[in-house]
Structure 1
Amino acid sequence: MDKNNLNDLSKDLFVPLESKEDTSEKISRPSRTFMQDARRTLFKNKPAVISIVILIIVILMSIFGPYMNHWGDNDQELARAKMPPRIPVLEKVSWLGVDGTLREEFKGKDVEDATRKAIARFDNAEDFIDIKVLKEGDGSRNSAEVKAIYHIYEAQNMEDTYFWLGSDPLGRDQWTRLWLGTRVSLIIAFVAALLDILIGVTYGGVSAFYGGKVDNIMQRILEILVGIPNLVIILLMMLVLQPGIVSIVIALCITGWVGMARIVRGEVLKIKSQEFVLAARTLGTPNGTIIRKHLLPNISGIIIVNTMFSIPSAVFFEAFLSFIGLGIVPPDASLGSLINSGFANIRLYPYLLVFPAVLLSVIMIAFNILGDGLRDAFDPKMHKK
C-alpha cells in the first residue's frame, strides 16, 4: 500500500490498546524447577511407577513378612521337611498349586506297575495317594502312565498346619526364610550402593575438580583397578575373608565404586568450566562452597540414576556368591542361598527354587525399570511440555 494512502486513513479507525498490570506480563504456564519437572516426568512413566510400588511392597514385606505367621527362622523339625505350599482358603482351588499336595506322573509296563512306583515314591502311604490313570498299558515297557496325588499333610497328621510357601529340607518355613533372605540381600545391596556413592563421588569429584597432576595420578590408579576383572577380586576377597554380610559388602565395594567415579569425573569436568562456576571463583567463593552449592546439585541426577542401576547389580552378585557357597552360609538365609538349596531339589520339589528365583527376578527387573525411568526424568530432552 502506498504511504500517501496511509496518511489519508481516518484516525477513528485506530483504537489505542489499554495496558493492564494483571494481564500485560501474565505467564501462560506455571513455572517449575528442574526437580519438579523431573518428578512430573517420572510419575508419568507408568512402568516406573509400578516398579516403585513393587519395590516398596518388597521392602515392607522384608521387614514385616517374617512375623506374619508363627514360624521362626530356626524353627526346624525333620518330620515336616519339604512340605509343599498350603494356604488357607486357596487350598480349595487345586490348580493354584497351594493345596498342600505333591503331584507326579509315573510310567510303567501296566497300570499296576506305574501305581507301584507311585506308592514307593511317596513313602508307601497308599491310603493318602489318589491315582488317576492317564494311559492304559499293553505290557510293553513304560506303556502305561498314571498321575499320583499325595496328600502329605494328612499322611503326616498335620491337617491343621499351613506352610504358605512350603518348608525347606530341614522343616523350616519357606515364607519366613524367603523374606529374611530378601532383607539380607537388600541390606547388602543398599549398603554397597551407599559406599559406592561415598567413595566414587568423592574420588571422581576430587580428581576432576583439582585436575592437573592430581587428576593424572588418580586416574592412573583408577585405570589399574579397571584392568582387573572385578569378579576375580570379589572371589579372591571372599576366599580370604570370613563369609558373611560384612565380607560381601567389602568385596563388592573394592571395585564397585570405579564406575561411579568415572561418571562423576566426566560430569564435573563438564560443569566446572561453565560460567556460573567461573563467576563463583571470581567472587572468591571457597572451593567447598562451590562443590556443595554448584557442582553436587548439578550432578545429583546422574548419581541417583547410576545408583539405581548399581543396586540390582549388587543384589545379583550377592545371590551369585551365595549360590556358589562363598556368600551367606547356612543357617543364615539370602536369596542366593535359598536358590542354591532349591536347585539341589529342583526335580522333586521345584517350589523351593521357584519362589526365591521369581522374587530375585522381580527385584532386579523393578530396579532396572526404575533406573530407566529416572534416567528419562533427569534428561531435559525427555520432558514433555
Structure 2
Amino acid sequence: MEKKNLNQIDKNLFKPLNQEENVSEKITAPSRTFGQDARRTLMKNKPAIVSIFIILLIIIMSIIGPSMNDYGNDDQELSRAKLPPRVPLLENVSWLGLNGTLSGRYEGTDVEDATTKAMARYKSTDEFVDIKVLEEGDGSRNSAAVKATFHIYEAKEMDDTYFWFGTDTLGRDQWTRLWEGTRVSLIIAFVAAILDLLIGVTYGGVSGFYGGRVDNVLQRIAEILVGIPNLVIILLMMLILQPGIVSIVIALAITGWIGMSRIVRGEVLKLTNQEFVLAARTLGTSNGTIIRRHLIPNITGIIIVNTMFSIPGAIFFEAFLSFIGLGIVPPNASLGALIQQGFANLRLYPYLLVFPAAVLSVLMIAFNILGDGLRDAFDPKMHK
C-alpha cells in the first residue's frame, strides 16, 4: 500500500488547541467528601447491603410479629402443648416440615413390635398414625423398623388451627415468643452498645487527650475492671438485683466499654500532635471543643465499626447467660432462653431449637458482615 505524503493530508482535518491558563488545571469531576466516599464504597458491598435489609427485617418482625396472631407471650394451654409447626399453604410441601405432623423411626423385633412402640410414643390410635415399614424383621432383636407419622392436629380436633412455629411444652405459641424474645435480645444489645459508645468514647477521649497523670490513673482503673470476669459481675448483680434485662445491661455496662475506650485512646493519642489540633490550641480553642469538634469527627469511622461489632457480642452474651440460667427467666422470653428450652427437648421436639437458633445465627452473621462492610467503607485505602 502506497504511503501518503504528509503534504497530501487535508489541513482542514486539524484544528489548533487554544490553551487557557485559568482552565488548564481545572478539575471537571465533582469532588466528594469522606462521608460520600464511605457511603459509595458501602453501597458497592452487596453482602453488607443484604445484611442491612436482613437486620431491618428482623427488627420490624420483633415489633409487629407478636401482634400477627391472637396468642400472647405467656398464654398457656396444655391441650395444645407440643404441637409442631403448621403453616397455611406450606403444609402441602412435605419436605419443609411445616405440615403439623410428628415423625420418627422406631425399631423392634418385628414390624408389629416396632408399631407398638410408635403407638406408645404418640399415645394414639391407628386412625391418626401412618406407619411405613422400613425394614421387615426375621425374629432377631431390633431387626425391624418403621416410620411413624402422627397427625397431631387431627388427633386433637384442631384441623383449622395453625401454629406457624409450633407450641412449647406448656402450649405457648412459639411464633409470638420467638419475636418477643428477639425484641428483648435486641433491646439488651442496643442499650449495651449505646452505653459502650457513650462511656468508652468519653473515657478514652479524656484519657488520650490529657495524657500524663490523668491517663495513668484512668488506665489503671480500666485494667482493674477488665480483670474482673463478666460471669462474676453477673453473679454479684443477681445478689443485688433480680435476674433480667437490668442485671444483664448493668453487667455489660461495667466492663463492656473498656475495649472501646482503649481504641479511642489510641486514636486520640495519634491525633493530638497533628497540625490542626495544634492550630486550634494556638487560637485558644477550649479542650472540650477540640475533643468534640476536631478529634471525635476524625475517629467517627472506627467508633461506628466497633459499635457495630459490639452488638452481636452483646446478643451472644445475653444468649449465653440465658442458656445457663443466669439471664432472662421464664415466663419472659429471649433468644437464649428459647434456645435453652429447645435444647432440653431437642430429641423429641427439634423445632423448639431450630427457629430461635436460626434467628440468633442470622443476626450474628448479618451484624458481623455489616461491620466488615463499614470497616472497608471507612478505610480510605478501599475508596476507588
The structural deviation recorded for 1:86 is 0.2
Q: Which residue of 2 aligns with 1:19?
A: 20
1:377 has 2:377 as partner: yes
Given residue 19 of structure 1, which amino acid in structure 2 is its aligned partner? E
Task: Give aligned-pair identity as a percent.
Answer: 76
Any stretches of 5+ residues in structure 1 without a counterpart?
Answer: 1-13
Larger mean Cα displacement after TM superposition, 120-129 or 277-286: 120-129
Distance 1:221 1:124 in 2: 65
Distance 2:378 2:165 in 1: 40
Q: Which residue of 2 aligns with 1:364?
A: 364
Secondary structure in structure 1 of the residue aligned to 2:105: strand
Larger mean Cα displacement after TM superposition, 93-102 or 283-292: 283-292
Q: Which residue of 2 aligns with 1:9?
A: none
Q: Which residue of 2 aligns with 1:63?
A: 63
After TM superposition, the score normalised by the length of structure 2 is: 0.94
The structural deviation recorded for 1:20 is 7.8
Deviations 1:22-60 (A, max 9, x none): x53432432111011011111111111111110000000
Secondary structure in structure 1 of the residue aligned to 2:74: coil
Seen in structure 2, the aligned counterparts of structure 1 residues 100 and 16 have a Cα distance that, compared at 3 Å, is closer
Deviations 1:272-327 (A, max 9, x none): 11000100100111112211110110111111000111100100010111111111
Secondary structure in structure 2 of the residue aligned to 1:206: helix
Secondary structure in structure 2 of the residue aligned to 1:132: strand
Secondary structure in structure 1 of the residue aligned to 2:131: strand
Q: Which residue of 1 aligns with 2:47?
A: 47
Given residue 262 of structure 2, which amino acid in structure 1 is its aligned partner? R
Distance 1:311 1:152 in 2: 40
Given residue 156 of structure 2, which amino acid in structure 1 is its aligned partner? Q
The structural deviation recorded for 1:69 is 1.4
Secondary structure in structure 1 of the residue aligned to 2:158: coil
Larger mean Cα displacement after TM superposition, 123-132 or 336-345: 123-132
Deviations 1:115-170 (A, max 9, x none): 01001100133210000001110011110010000000000010010000000111
Seen in structure 2, the aligned counterparts of structure 1 residues 127 and 287 have a Cα distance that, compared at 3 Å, is same
After TM superposition, the score normalised by the length of structure 1 is: 0.93
Q: How does 1:261-276 map to 2 (within 5 A)?
A: 261-276=261-276
Seen in structure 2, the aligned counterparts of structure 1 residues 124 and 297 have a Cα distance that, compared at 3 Å, is same
Q: How does 1:154-165 map to 2 (within 5 A)?
A: 154-165=154-165
Distance 1:228 1:168 in 2: 37
Deviations 1:223-266 (A, max 9, x none): 12222333333344335421111111001111101001100100
The structural deviation recorded for 1:337 is 0.5
The 8 Å contact of residues 114 and 144 in structure 2, kept in 1 or not, is answered as: yes
Distance 1:153 1:175 in 2: 17
Seen in structure 2, the aligned counterparts of structure 1 residues 29 and 143 have a Cα distance that, compared at 3 Å, is same
Q: Which residue of 1 aligns with 2:123?
A: 123
Given residue 201 of structure 2, which amino acid in structure 1 is its aligned partner? V
Q: Which residue of 2 aligns with 1:102?
A: 102
Secondary structure in structure 1 of the residue aligned to 2:106: strand
Secondary structure in structure 1 of the residue aligned to 2:256: helix
Given residue 185 of structure 1, which amino acid in structure 2 is its aligned partner? S
Count of aligned residue pairs for this structure pair: 371
Secondary structure in structure 1 of the residue aligned to 2:104: strand
Q: Which residue of 1 aligns with 2:229?
A: 229
Q: Which residue of 2 aligns with 1:6?
A: none
Q: Which residue of 2 aligns with 1:7?
A: none
Distance 1:28 1:41 in 2: 22
Given residue 297 of structure 1, which amino acid in structure 2 is its aligned partner? P
Distance 2:18 2:236 in 1: 80
Q: How does 1:65-104 map to 2 (within 5 A)?
A: 65-104=65-104
Secondary structure in structure 2 of the residue aligned to 1:24: coil
The 8 Å contact of residues 234 and 247 in structure 2, kept in 1 or not, is answered as: no
Q: How does 1:307-326 map to 2 (within 5 A)?
A: 307-326=307-326
Q: How does 1:189-204 map to 2 (within 5 A)?
A: 189-204=189-204
The 8 Å contact of residues 312 and 363 in structure 1, kept in 2 or not, is answered as: yes
Runs of 4 or more consecutive aligned structure 1 residues displaced over 6 Å after TM superposition = none
Larger mean Cα displacement after TM superposition, 85-94 or 28-37: 28-37
Distance 1:223 1:119 in 2: 62
The 8 Å contact of residues 205 and 261 in structure 1, kept in 2 or not, is answered as: yes
Given residue 269 of structure 1, which amino acid in structure 2 is its aligned partner? L
1:256 has 2:256 as partner: yes
Distance 2:94 2:313 in 1: 37
Secondary structure in structure 2 of the residue aligned to 1:131: strand
Secondary structure in structure 2 of the residue aligned to 1:273: coil
Distance 2:237 2:200 in 1: 20
Distance 1:163 1:16 in 2: 77
The 8 Å contact of residues 243 and 327 in structure 1, kept in 2 or not, is answered as: yes
Larger mean Cα displacement after TM superposition, 280-289 or 221-230: 221-230
Deviations 1:77-104 (A, max 9, x none): 0010010000001111111100000000
The 8 Å contact of residues 239 and 326 in structure 1, kept in 2 or not, is answered as: no
Q: Which residue of 2 aligns with 1:328?
A: 328
Distance 2:310 2:276 in 1: 31
Distance 2:331 2:70 in 1: 19
Distance 2:134 2:366 in 1: 42
